[in-house]
Amino acid sequence: VQAVYRDYRQLSLSRLGLKRLFGITLTLSLLIVLLSAVSAAFFLSERLSAPLAALAEGTRAVAQGDFTGKYPVQSSDEFGALTGMFNQMTLQLSDARKTSERQQLQVENAKAYLESVLAHLSSGVLVVDEQFRLRSANSSAAQILGSPLLNMHGKPLQEIVAEHPLLRPFFEAVIGAFNSVPGGEWQRQIERLSKNGNQMLLIRGTRLAAAAESGYVVVFDDITYLLQAERQAAWGEAARRLAHEIKNPLTPIQLSAERLQHKLTMRCCCNAPPKPLSARWER
């Protein structure tokens, strides 16, 4: 009986040790499996989120205006297709920005060329919008009108007239012409009082093309000196014709006097010939 009891005690102790060993083994196995699962989860999440992180970085770069980034397609699934489409989008945005910059440079060059032409143009040029607010003016316009129009961009014409009363006849003629001929071209000649006296202006106006910004263009010239020159030329021509009409009756009188002088010379016995009468008619 003691031997059997002793065997039983040994088996009980062995059973308790086996339970503990199995428990430790199972715990270690569970920990290993759990660590493996966590590692696999991190690996898979890193692998799956890497394309999304790259796209997020690319989106931030695009938001800052950097279209040079190109991200490799690492898979053929949905993430790969999304990365390829993102690369195509950035390429198109880069091409569009280059085209826009090139067009903007062309517009700036054309604007600079137009401003240079207008600055060296002898005629005055004004551009107003639909509400008759001054949008631009060249230096010749300011010089002809005698007003600092280059510093009045954006002001209504009525406000400019209030500050410079001498411009009232000019702007009233412009506004009246555009109101009477809203869609066509017109030409007017007005006389106004300037700082240097009376001034004659030849004004031409037209509406901007429909494709451009709405508004009107006014081109004008100071023809005061031209009219004076034409008037002086007309008086000169009248004086020349009058002198010609006065001189014509004197020609036969001069010829008759020369014939009389010749006859008198033949009859005269003097050695010295008399002074020709024609010399008196040279004036």
Q: What is the side-by-side strand order in the sheet with 197-207?
A: 134-137, 124-128, 216-222, 197-207, 186-194
Q: Looking at the DSSP assignment, which residues form a beta bridge with residue 218?
A: 126, 205
Q: What is the CATH number of the domain that holds 175?
A: 3.30.450.20
Give the confidence band of 249 by pLDDT, cuts at 50, 70, 90: low
- How far is Cα 243 from Cα 246, in angstroms, rounded to an integer? 5
- Picking from 61, 78, 109, the residue at the C-terminal end of a domain is 109
Asked if the structure places residue 14 within a domain, the reply is: no
Q: Do residue 155 and residue 195 come from a single domain?
A: yes
**pTM higher than 0.85 for the full model?**
no
* Predicted pLDDT at 111: 80
Q: Do residue 64 and residue 138 come from a single domain?
A: no
Give the confidence band of 255 by pLDDT, cuts at 50, 70, 90: low
Domain range for 263: 257-283
Percentage of residues of the chain with pLDDT beyond 70: 81
Exposure class string for 135-165: b at 16+ Cβ within 10 A, else e:
ebbbebbbebbebebeebeeebbeebbeebe
- How far is Cα 25 from Cα 226, in angstroms, rounded to an integer? 116
Q: What is the pLDDT of residues 144-160, one digit of tens each?
A: 888 888 888 889 998 99
Asked if the structure places residue 36 within a domain, the reply is: no
Q: Find the mean pLDDT for residues 51-78.
A: 76
- How far is Cα 274 from Cα 94, in angstroms, rounded to an integer? 104
Asked if the structure places residue 166 within a domain, the reply is: yes
Q: Do residue 132 and residue 105 come from a single domain?
A: no
Give the DSSP letter of residue 56. H
Q: Do residue 133 and residue 200 come from a single domain?
A: yes
* Predicted pLDDT at 151: 84
